[in-house]
Structures are given as C-alpha cells and as structure tokens.
Amino acid sequence: KATDIAHKSLLELDVRSKQEKGAQEWECAYELGYLMRRNGASVESFDTIFASGPVSSLPHSTPRQHVLETPVLVDYGCKFEGYCSDTTRTFIYTERQEEISDIVLEAHDKAIEAVKAGVKACEVDKVARDIISEYGYGDNYIHSTGHSLGLDIHENPSVSMKDQTVLENNMIITIEPGIYLEGEFGIRIEDLVLVDKKGKLIGNLPQIL
C-alpha cells in the first residue's frame, strides 16, 4: 500500500510539467511529500532526493533552491501503517540520457529476474553489476544494487558484492542499479521486489516516465 501511494503521488506531481514551468527542486520535493500524505501516507520514509542536471550524478543529494534541469532523478518513499516504500525514477530528456537509461533498465530487469528464494544477495548484485560493466560503465556504478526494508528504510540483507545472505521467501528488497557520470548526470531506477520462487515486482509504475 505504501508503494501504491508513492507511485500515485509521483504521477500526480507531473515532473515534466514542473520542469517546463521552471519549478525548483525543493518545491517539487515538498509537494511530493504533501501528495503522499494527502493520499494516505503518515510520513515520508526518508528525506526525498530531487536532483537534476549534473547534481543527479551524486547518489545522495539535498533538494536545492534551483530550477529543475535535466535529467530529473527522484528517489522517495512513504510510510503506511509503519511500513516503508522506496522508489527511484529518472526523467530523461536527451538521446545520451536515454542511452544510459537503457543500460540501467537492462541491469534492473535482469537483476529482478535473478531474485528468488535460495539465491545469495551478492549473486543478484553481480547480475546487475556485470551488465553495467559490460557496457563499460562499471566504474560509474558506485553503490550496492539494493537493500532490504520494512519497518525501517534500510534493513539487512544488503544486495551488495560482499553480502552472502541467502534470500528467503517473503523478504522485500530494493533493486536500484545506477550509472553516474560525474559533472554530467546520473540515472537510477529503483523498485521493490518480493522474494518468492521468483522475484515479484511491487507496484505498476512504469520504469520510464
């Protein structure tokens, strides 16, 4: 339910319209928080990241008093009945951004396909990391592929190179590969996945908006 609220709220925000009208990052982050509460959330599950232009190449940034540039990376979530959601979408505008986005989406999709009970967290990370590396951007993938979450936004296991934890049925993890080109832009796509006999994507927000 928290994911449904978050996804509905991002669509209602209409980021592309905000960008065309010259809205600032902090305005959009504030309004997104308002929309999530209006739609039933109790609070944001963490401080919303609303990063545009070259600042999107920083995996964690603070919304600025700065007019939206391109691309626009939004990493956000909310709480419903104590449980957290966590989603990232990057709104792309150029062929170069689309090229990088396609690579990230391939890594995202293949990693989700690799999720199932009995697989180690590090094995899922390797799937995403290998794809990005094959395209020559391994050095630009500078964080883990995901993490578990529930009542807290970051829980164990971490979907990372070193985490040997075996995934179990009914775990919820994030899958969030990204490519970050310093001084240019960054692209990240993140979704929640339920661990079962195969990974089940939570929510139906399109990965490309």
In a domain, 207, yes or no: no
Residue 194 lies in a domain: yes
Q: Say if residue 65's pLDDT is above 90.
A: yes
In a domain, 41, yes or no: yes
The pLDDT confidence band at residue 1, using thresholds 50, 70 and 90, is: very high
Residue 103, pLDDT above cutoff 90:
yes
127-147 pLDDT, tens digit per residue, is: 999 999 999 999 999 999 999
For range 192-199, the mean pLDDT: 96
Distance set, CA 125 to CA 112, 131, 136, 174 (Å): 10, 10, 17, 11
Determine the Cα–Cα distance for residues 119 and 79; give it in Å rounded to an integer: 28
Question: Starting at the edge strand that comes first in sequence, how are the strands of the sheet with 87-91 ordered?
Answer: 49-52, 72-76, 87-91
Print the domain residue range for 101: 2-202
Using omega within 30 degrees of 0 as the cis cutoff, is the peptide bond preceding 177 cis? no
- pLDDT bin (cut points 50, 70, 90) of residue 41 is very high
Residue 96 lies in a domain: yes
Domain count, the chain: 1
Contact present, 90 and 73 (Cβ < 8 Å): yes
More confidently predicted of 149 and 60: 149
CA-to-CA separations, 201 to 41, 66, 69, 94, 164, in angstroms, rounded = 21, 34, 30, 28, 22
Stretch 79-84: mean pLDDT: 98
Residue 176 lies in a domain: yes
CATH number at residue 75: 3.90.230.10
Residue 104 in tokens: 């990230």
CA distance 14 to 30: 14
Domain-located, residue 208: no
Full-model pTM: 0.96
For residue 164, count other CB atoms closer than 10 A to its CB.
9
Within a domain: 144: yes
User: What's residue 60's pLDDT?
Assistant: 87
Domain-embedded: residue 13 = yes
User: Above 90 in pLDDT, residue 200?
Assistant: yes
